[in-house]
Chains A and B, each alone.
Chain A
Amino acid sequence: MQKAVASLDRPPHSTGAPDVVDDAAVRAGLTVHLGRTFRRAVAIEGFSRKSSGFSWITYSFVARPVSGPTRKLVLRVGPPNGLFAPYSVMPQVLALQSLTGTRVPVPGLVSFDQGGAEIGFPFFVCEHVEGEVPAPWAGSELDEGHRRDIATQFIAILAELHKLDWREQSLASLHGDGREREEVRAISVWRRSLARPTARYYPLLDWGGRWLAENCPQPPRRTIVHGDYRIGNFLERERKITAILDWELTHLGDPHEDLAWALMPTFNARSRKLYGVVEREEVIELYQRASGISISARSLAFYEAFALYQAAAIQMCAVRAFEVDRFNDMRMAVMASQMPSIVRAFERALEAVA
């Protein structure tokens, strides 16, 4: 893999980023960027937008340099009107840099630019990995044996991630200034997000956020946390997970957080079993055996409550985008309608922890 090219030392784009991501402009900027990165002219072919999501925009393309091999690559752009804007590429960049060559499969990083000099927005380029992304709710279309194979790999990879010593990785730069515990800091991020003014205010979220911060358990070990580890955030091919994706929320914290998030029924076709096939007890047993980390029932319950709190905060980002920032994407308006059920589930989850 080519060494990643850091561009953080350059000043941000001085003319200001355009409001809407224009695919043709992105392609033109990418051509310039890759020419500079590879130090030779590069033609871009098959450039196409892959995602219609709420956050990072994904493009796939083939880079054909005037000399040297053709490469299938992926570009990810943080749009100015995404749900979590303004974006930083750094968590994803640091994750890909740190995890390449480990037992956690990730796409190789090619280059990145937080300032977005040529494209106008923060972006990074990585290698294309063959595989398919299973939709969390489409699990039943695959046979049980297939899903079980994937689910057990999914647990084993999580264990590998949590076993890594982050102090020896570039991810160590995510370590805070020590004023707040890492896992409490993860809660604070969402509390700040929820504190932003919107039309609706949910008293249980305000109170529950404070409760989570005040009652956050000590982690058994401070580890790298993916932050969005779930069915649907990896590529699989021929019953093998080929890459773990979407590292934008990665941080240091309590490993229970990833486990609780992965077990949310929302990501498992409404089932309490992982991928609809592996019972929770078995998930915990497999994870403990592979990671050497003891799972505490209370910590898991705490992070299940936190998962719902985080889900509510994400929905509120959509509410805010629709109502305050006036993005006319009706999917965001629909997300707002889910708030009552999430908040009620959160209250029940807190009851279970207490």
Chain B
Amino acid sequence: MSASFERLIDGMVEALQAHVLPGSHDDFARGQIFSVIFALNGLKLAADWKTGPLLEQIRLQDDAFAAVRRLADGMSHPPLPVTRLTGGIVDAATVESLRDEGDRKLGELLLWATGEDARTADRSAASEIEMMLRRLICDQLKVELATTPKLMLQQIAGERVASGAN
């Protein structure tokens, strides 16, 4: 199981136990809370992140690495990973870890492309790499945005207008 999924489930269970249950004195409501905790523990045992969006992000990262390899021809650049998506990867934890490693590599490449060495070696190619990396990283963010629900900021913050709270 991926660490972030497990942590999210643990956080929800703990938040309900520590913050919601003590303030809930209605038997029916308490029954609902315990049932939600039970269901969350079940999800922890049986579920994980959908791999589809993670795999799509990794594909975009691999496209970026391939483009760097092509555009930086002849330039000295940080080592690039070989295409990482092989048919056998199905485990969400492995895919998530690959995505995170890919992000770090993208950061390294972006810092390199906008640094003095790359600019001196080939200003035009360095600029092209920078723009390509920024575009593909934004495409990757769009994949994540597609799986993010609308934020309930007002409700999360407590909704009421505080008074005399300096």
Chain A interface residues toward B at CB < 8 A: 50-52, 58, 60, 74, 107, 126, 128-135, 137-138, 141, 199-204, 206-207, 210-211, 235, 243, 245, 322-323, 326, 328-331, 333-334, 337-338, 340-341, 343-344, 347
Contact = CB atoms under 8 A, between A and B. Distances in A.
Interface of B: 3-4, 7-8, 10-12, 14-15, 18-19, 100, 103-104, 106-107, 110-111, 114, 133-134, 137-138, 141-142, 144-145, 148-149, 151, 153-154, 156-166
A201 B156 contact: no
A334 B12 contact: no
A206 B8 contact: no
A128 B166 contact: yes
B134 A204 contact: yes
Given A203-B137, A328-B14, A128 B164 contact: yes
Contacts of A51: 162, 165
A114 to B, nearest CB: 20
Contact of B18 (A74, A211, A328, A347): A328
A135 B138 contact: no
A330 B11 contact: yes
Given A135-B161, A199-B3, A235-B166, 10 more contacts: A131-B163, A131-B164, A132-B164, A135-B157, A199-B100, A201-B104, A203-B110, A322-B7, A323-B7, A329-B15
B104 to A, nearest CB: 5
B103 A135 contact: no
Contacts of A130: 164
A323 B4 contact: yes
B162 A207 contact: no
Given A132-B161, A201-B103, A206-B111, A340 B141 contact: yes
A203 B166 contact: no
